[in-house]
């Protein structure tokens, strides 16, 4: 279970360094953006029209929510607060809904999604909201690197007491796979390649905290295969 700090493994030092770096990098522009939005709303550069006021108010709200999430991330890293409550999440439903949500973006790039999944895939003690965010990030990353008129494959299969989720694009993967593993281990080049390294490092940290396994492989056509093993709920087919 992931419900309490005492029940989850300590955050690895390399993950702590990455999270501290990301928190600092995110918080600074958010603070600046919120301050500029407040100045605009107050009419510092002329009275904004009503429709612009509404947009500015929404922007300030978004900044506040993001800043709160960054603080939550810092607190979780220090172990000051528990993780979100765990539950039995249905990975198959999450995978289908995520593909549907990103379908328009994929179609615009002439990329097709291929989903292979059973009707249900229940996981034990996994927060569904966090899992949805993880699957969405992996698919969005695949869309960034997949060439036009190619495929992104999302597969889900039972492997003993685990569910195996794999996301495969047709590449080309911008890093040699051994180099990519090395970057994840040493947190090299965290800002390169549209966030590829930190995205995968965060995904790996989340999966391992959930009691699962994380692996990267190079495909025969030069793409990237991200594979996650997550614990199945006992008694679930």
Domain ranges of the chain: 5-78, 87-231
Q: What confidence tier does 84 reach under pLDDT thresholds 50, 70, 90?
A: very low
Axis-axis angle for helices 128-145, 196-209 (nearest 10): 150
CATH of the domain spanning 87-231: 3.30.565.10
> Tens digit of pLDDT for each residue in 196-232?
556 677 788 788 888 888 888 888 877 888 999 998 8
Q: What confidence tier does 5 reach under pLDDT thresholds 50, 70, 90?
A: very low
> Tens digit of pLDDT for each residue in 142-184?
888 788 889 999 999 999 999 999 999 887 766 655 555 554 4
User: What's the predicted TM-score (pTM) here?
Assistant: 0.60
Residue 232 Cα distances to 85, 90, 178, angstroms: 17, 10, 30
Give CA–CA dist 94/134, Å, rounded: 10
């Amino acid at each position: 279970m992931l419900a309490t700090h005492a029940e989850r493994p300590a955050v690895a030092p390399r993950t702590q360094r990455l999270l501290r770096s990301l928190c600092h990098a995110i918080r600074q522009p958010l603070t600046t953006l919120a301050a500029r939005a407040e100045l605009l709303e107050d009419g510092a550069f002329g009275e904004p029209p009503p429709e612009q006021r509404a947009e500015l108010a929404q922007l300030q709200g978004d900044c506040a929510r993001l800043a709160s999430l960054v603080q939550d991330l810092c607190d979780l890293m220090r172990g000051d607060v528990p993780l979100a409550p765990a539950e039995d999440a249905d990975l198959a439903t999450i995978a289908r809904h995520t593909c549907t949500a990103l379908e328009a973006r994929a179609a615009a790039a002439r990329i097709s999604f291929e989903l292979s999944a059973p009707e249900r895939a229940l996981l034990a003690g996994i927060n569904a909201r966090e899992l949805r965010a993880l699957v969405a990030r992996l698919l969005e990353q695949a869309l960034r690197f997949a060439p036009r008129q190619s495929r992104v494959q999302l597969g889900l299969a039972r492997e003993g007491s685990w569910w195996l989720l794999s996301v495969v694009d047709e590449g080309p993967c911008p890093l040699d796979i051994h180099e990519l593993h090395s970057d994840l281990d040493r947190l090299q080049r965290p800002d390169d390649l549209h966030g590829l390294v930190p995205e995968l490092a965060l995904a790996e940290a989340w999966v391992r905290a959930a009691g699962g396994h994380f692996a990267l492989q190079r495909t025969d056509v030069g793409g990237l295969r991200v594979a996650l093993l997550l614990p199945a709920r006992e008694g679930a087919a």
